[in-house]
């Protein structure tokens, strides 16, 4: 086996060798299934033959998922080893839960957890913002105005965090920032907003709302558009005012959508936006913005780092927690009579 | 008597209309305020980036440049650092986008056939990637084993096949009328020809949306670039911009002549760089806007 692999890599290079192996694995799987089906269920084998070219259409996508989503999951095993890149996954010594034990004993871990949860919970407070925006947009009568506003508020979703953070710097930096210039021109003294530990979370949350509020409102607008107009007319005849019909008709009708969005949000409560936090970090606010992703990046990926196993363990802890959170929220939502996501 | 009643009714209606108008005005004002926070920062950056150095340094702020200058732009655009970054971003975007759309559409079309053996299992495997990810380090190790470190394909391939995209495309494909496919099949149309000549042309609006999404996500790629591209000359525009904005002395990043260094204020250069990097997004945005507001997004929620 190793001889074949070495021959392959020397001829094709690592990348294409992996592709060749993965494609042959998929083809082999297909053949095995085909033979099995031929024996037990003739109709399935017949359909497999009918659709054989369709499987080929799906191969690029499956291949990418296999190489970049499922192969790394195999490497998660290194969280239970003292991984040595020169020895590889197979030959590195197995250490069991050592890294996880170290993780839970590490004071740094609790600091990172606290920071992550603080940022997430603060941004959870802004969860209703897109709903409110959708309700407001829905009330607008002039469709031209509505369209203009929509076009404008969706835009930030398509901007990278680099752009958003740059704009923040242009507005808030202490030397050249617009806000400080205005403060000075009005006779005040300038403040170093970006280095201020007490407001850094506020800046992070506002950035998140600014970027996401418009885009987030799309699903709610779609849900509102799907509500039966007869309900509103009936309420009007019964003497309900606008506010009452929003509370008693619109909100209950979009509740399933809210539930789905909440499930999706719960999955990310243990993670923060890596790009945003990394770009906003500086020496003075670092203790407030020390989160798992940044730690993993600085100790596992950056050149000269050696803590592969420990950082993998951190990442694995995060993934497992977020999966559990999604599944739990999903269970709660579906047990209350609504459709979950899974 | 009757006229009085009518008048009363009218005045009541008028009162309603007045309160309705106030209501509309308040809502429109709030929305306009929100929209303004999204437009004004750009306006400010664009204006400053075109402002002449002497006016900028005088410290007064105008909503319109008192003296126009494009010097900052010519300095940015001529720098070797910018050209390298542009090359990287153009490669990642224009090679990545077609690969992305083809891989997703192929997989989605395959999964849209209800009676395809193995469909359920593959479907679950695709969904599972949405639920659980291996994390940064395993991805990094795999990328190194694949020999993709410092290759632009490291930015393209991992984000190519997204579970969400596949699911939305799948629900779109399965809503296409079956009769057409059956008729084509009877006429002896093969799988590939069916896909290319019948299915894809029927889904142009959806494909356009996802092409633009892919374009934007590749143009904006930052995270995968700082992780997988250690060679500075290979890093894309977003990394270049972040370096210019974050560093205190930008002349090294821009790679310009030292005698030009003090000609244009750094802040003006930074803003010019931001405008250049964001411009393609602003240009294609109106085209995207046409598609995504309806259809695709609704399908996403239902699916």
Mean pLDDT over the full length of chain B: 83
d(CA A205, CA A200): 9
CATH class of A102-335: mainly alpha
Does the pLDDT value for residue B2 go beyond 70? no
Partner B contacted by A75 (CB < 8 A): yes
Measured in degrees and rounded to the nearest 5, phi and psi for residue A94 equal -80, 130
Contact list in A for residue B38 (CB cut-off 8 A) is: 152-153, 155-156, 210, 214
Does the pLDDT value for residue B268 go beyond 70? yes
Contact list in A for residue B132 (CB cut-off 8 A) is: 73, 319, 323
Say what the pLDDT of residue B8 is.
52
% of chain A beyond a pLDDT of 90? 36
The tokens describing A146, both together, are 């509505």
Q: Say which range, A57-61, A333-337, B207-211, has the weakest mean pLDDT.
A: A333-337
Instruction: Work out the average pLDDT over A235-255.
Output: 89
> Measured on CA atoms in the order A271, A274, A276, A277, is the torsion positive or negative?
positive
Does the pLDDT value for residue B258 go beyond 70? no
CATH class of B77-302: mainly alpha
- Residue window 241-260, chain B: list those with CB within 8 Å of chain A: 241-242, 245-246
Does the pLDDT value for residue B159 go beyond 80? yes
Say what the pLDDT of residue B94 is.
95
Contact list in B for residue A330 (CB cut-off 8 A) is: none
Say what the pLDDT of residue A165 is.
95
Say what the pLDDT of residue B194 is.
87
Say what the pLDDT of residue A339 is.
65
For the ranges B53-62, B99-108, B256-265, the maximum mean pLDDT occurs at B99-108
Question: Could you tell me which residue, A39 or B227, shows the higher pLDDT?
Answer: B227
The tokens describing B272, both together, are 């010019």
Place of tokens 């969005």: A261
Cα A9 to the center of its chain, rounded Å: 35
Partner A contacted by B142 (CB < 8 A): yes
Instruction: Work out the average pLDDT over A9-30.
Output: 80
Which candidate, A209, A208, A215, places its Cα nearest to that of A158?
A215
Interhelix angle A161-172/B237-246, nearest 10 degrees: 20
Distance from the first to the final alpha carbon of chain A: 40
Domain ranges of chain B: 2-49, 77-302
Say what the pLDDT of residue B301 is.
44
Beta-carbon contacts of residue A166 (< 8 Å; ≥ 6 apart): B241, B242, B245, B270, B274
Say what the pLDDT of residue B303 is.
36
Place of tokens 């590749």: B218
Question: Could you tell me which residue, A263 or A62, shows the higher pLDDT?
Answer: A62
Facing A159 at nearest CB: one of B28, B278, B293: B278
pLDDT single digits (tens) A100-147: 999 999 999 999 999 999 999 999 999 999 999 999 999 898 889 998
* pLDDT classification of B293: cutoffs 50, 70, 90: low
Domain ranges of chain A: 2-94, 102-335
Facing B110 at nearest CB: one of A55, A185, A279: A55
Say what the pLDDT of residue A314 is.
93
pLDDT single digits (tens) B113-157: 888 888 888 999 998 998 888 889 999 988 888 888 899 999 999
Say what the pLDDT of residue B175 is.
85
Partner B contacted by A152 (CB < 8 A): yes
Mean pLDDT over the full length of chain A: 87
Which candidate, B39, B157, B140, B217, places its Cα nearest to that of A64?
B157
* β-strand partners of B68: B51
pLDDT single digits (tens) A180-232: 888 888 888 888 888 888 899 999 999 999 999 998 998 898 889 888 889 98
pLDDT single digits (tens) B51-73: 888 777 776 666 677 778 888 88
Place of tokens 């077609």: B98
């Amino acid at each position: 086996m190793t001889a074949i692999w070495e021959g392959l890599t020397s001829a094709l290079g690592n990348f294409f060798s992996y592709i060749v192996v993965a494609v042959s694995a998929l083809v082999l799987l297909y053949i095995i299934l085909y033979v099995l089906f031929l024996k037990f269920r003739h109709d399935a084998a017949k359909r497999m033959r009918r659709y054989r070219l369709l499987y080929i259409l799906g191969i690029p996508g499956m291949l990418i998922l296999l190489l970049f989503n499922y192969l790394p999951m195999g490497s998660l095993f290194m969280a239970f080893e003292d991984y040595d890149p020169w020895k590889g996954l197979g030959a590195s010594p197995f250490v069991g839960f050592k890294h996880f034990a170290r993780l839970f004993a590490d004071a740094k871990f609790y600091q990172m957890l606290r920071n992550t949860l603080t940022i997430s919970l603060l941004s959870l407070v802004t969860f209703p913002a897109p709903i409110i925006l959708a309700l407001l947009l829905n009330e607008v009568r002039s469709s031209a105005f509505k369209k203009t506003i929509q076009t404008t508020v969706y835009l930030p979703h398509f901007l990278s965090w680099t752009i958003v953070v740059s704009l923040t710097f242009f507005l808030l930096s202490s030397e050249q920032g617009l806000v400080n210039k205005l403060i000075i021109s009005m006779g005040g003294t300038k403040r170093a907003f970006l280095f201020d530990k007490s407001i850094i979370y506020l800046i992070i949350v506002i950035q998140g709302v600014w970027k996401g509020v418009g885009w987030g409102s799309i699903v709610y607008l779609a849900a509102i558009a799907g509500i039966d107009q007869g309900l509103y007319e009936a309420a009007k005849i019964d003497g309900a005012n606008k506010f009452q019909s929003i509370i008693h008709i619109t909100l209950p009708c979009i509740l399933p959508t809210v539930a789905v969005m909440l499930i999706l949000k719960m999955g990310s409560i243990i993670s923060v936006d890596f790009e945003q936090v990394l770009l906003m970090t500086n020496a003075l606010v670092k203790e407030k913005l020390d989160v798992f992703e940044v730690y993993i990046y600085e100790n596992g990926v950056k050149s000269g780092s050696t803590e592969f196993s420990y950082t993998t363990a951190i990442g694995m802890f995060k993934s497992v927690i977020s999966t559990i959170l999604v599944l739990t929220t999903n269970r709660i939502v579906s047990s209350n009579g609504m459709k979950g996501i899974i | 008597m009757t006229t009085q009643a009518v008048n009363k009714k009218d005045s009541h209606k008028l009162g309603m209309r007045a309160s309705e108008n106030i209501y509309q005005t308040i809502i429109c004002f709030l929305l306009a305020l929100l929209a303004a926070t999204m437009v004004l920062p750009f306006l400010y950056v664009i204006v400053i980036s075109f402002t002449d150095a002497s006016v900028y340094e005088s410290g007064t702020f105008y909503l319109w440049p008192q003296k126009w200058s494009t010097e900052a732009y010519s300095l940015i655009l001529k720098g070797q650092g910018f050209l390298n970054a542009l090359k990287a971003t153009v490669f990642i975007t224009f090679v990545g986008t077609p690969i992305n759309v083809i891989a997703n559409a192929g997989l989605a079309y395959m999964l849209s056939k209800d009676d395809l053996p193995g469909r359920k299992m593959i479907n679950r495997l695709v969904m599972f990637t949405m639920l659980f990810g291996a994390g940064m380090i395993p991805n990094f190790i795999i990328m190194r084993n694949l020999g993709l470190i410092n290759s632009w394909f490291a930015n393209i391939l991992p984000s190519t096949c997204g579970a969400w995209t596949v699911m939305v495309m799948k629900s779109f494909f399965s809503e296409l009328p079956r009769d057409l496919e059956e008729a084509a099949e009877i006429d002896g149309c093969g799988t590939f020809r069916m896909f290319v000549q019948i299915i894809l042309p029927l889904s142009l609006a959806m494909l356009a949306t996802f092409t633009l999404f892919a374009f934007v996500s590749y143009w904006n790629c930052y995270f995968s670039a700082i992780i997988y591209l250690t060679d500075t000359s290979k890093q894309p525009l977003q990394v270049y911009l972040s370096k210019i904005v974050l560093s205190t002395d930008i002349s090294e990043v821009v790679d310009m002549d030292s005698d030009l260094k003090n000609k244009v204020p750094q802040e003006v250069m930074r803003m010019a760089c931001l405008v250049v990097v964001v411009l393609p997004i602003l240009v294609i945005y109106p085209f995207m806007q046409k598609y995504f507001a309806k259809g695709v997004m609704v399908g996403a929620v239902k699916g």
